[in-house]
Amino acid sequence: MQYRRLGKAGVQVSALSLGSWVTFGQQISDDVAADLMKTAYDKGVNFFDNAEAYAGGRSETVMGNILHRMEWPRDTFLVSSKVFWGGSLPNQEGLSRKHVMEACNKTLKRLQVDYLDLYFCHRPDPNTPIEETARAMSDLIHQGKVLYWGTSEWSAQEIAQAHAVARECHLVPPTMEQPMYNLFGRFRFEKEYARLYSEYGMGTTIWSPLASGLLTGKHKGGPQEGTRATLKDYDWLKNQIEREGKEKAEKVEKLAVIAKDIGLSLAVFSVAWCLKNPHVSTVILGASKIEQLTENLQAVEAQEKLTPDVMKQVDEIVGI
């Protein structure tokens, strides 16, 4: 495994990490979830990602039970959560001080840990001043409940505002952003965020490296049964795959040829491509099967096969 600093922060995260969205507490059994976490940990993964919204909190409960059972030393792993969608009643969602504080306390109980290594604002909240949110996050850090706070799917302008507020009010600024990034989703990460890396030393924990499965090649004929796209309440994902699968079918086929030429599956190739970007601190993998996780973990070693010539061919196919 390779380890990278989280932006300018001193903490190191494994280049590949494991996320629980859709899978834990929903798509897979708790035993499979435990096997996935143990496999990942044994392979050097030290970061596990979660959120209060995942399976209505059940994902955190499942992960917490596993962490408790494994008894790994606390200084050998990092665990995160995200705050925004905690319920349907007033003050159960958003980034108000009340919700941020209460959500963090509930998450700590579900995960059975004393503190969160990383805590993300899952989306920007137009109804709450950034100063209120930044102050709440900063206070959680001073209380020892959170080590680093960050954002997820915020615009570059909103992230810059958070830093400006933190500087003006003497608060702890955000350390990292969790954006979508893959071969078919490049502009925000590579262009919009460009100045944030040098100006603020922003770290990143990127998600959806396989573009919801499009970059595995398995959805060529439409969403495959047994995948997250066919789960209840995920019609939006099914529709997205059906639409984008048709639009990007030719590009997927061309990428698959390049991957095959250098001896990689399209999935491993796509994850390795993400890792080639020096601004990627860690790539969050999602998996429902051990074989799937084991295969994708090969992406760390696969990076060396993505030569400048290969990267140029990719750019010519997908653009930006």
Q: How far apart are CA 2 and CA 54, in angstroms?
A: 28
- Tokens encoding 144: 């020892």
Measured CA angle at 287 (ends 220, 320), to 5 deg: 55
Query: Can you list the pairs that 97-105 forms with residues at least 24 positions away whose Cβ atoms lie under 8 Å?
Result: 97/132, 97/133, 97/135, 97/136, 100/133, 100/136, 100/137, 100/140, 101/136, 101/139, 101/140, 103/52, 104/140, 104/145, 104/146, 105/145
Q: Supply the residues annotated as catalytic.
A: 54
Radius of gyration (Cα) for the chain, nearest Å? 19
Q: How far apart are CA 193 and CA 199, in angstroms?
A: 10
Decide the pairing of beta strands 12-14 and 3-5.
antiparallel
**Does residue 127 contact residue 94 with C-beta atoms inside 8 Å?**
yes
**Does residue 211 contact residue 266 with C-beta atoms inside 8 Å?**
no
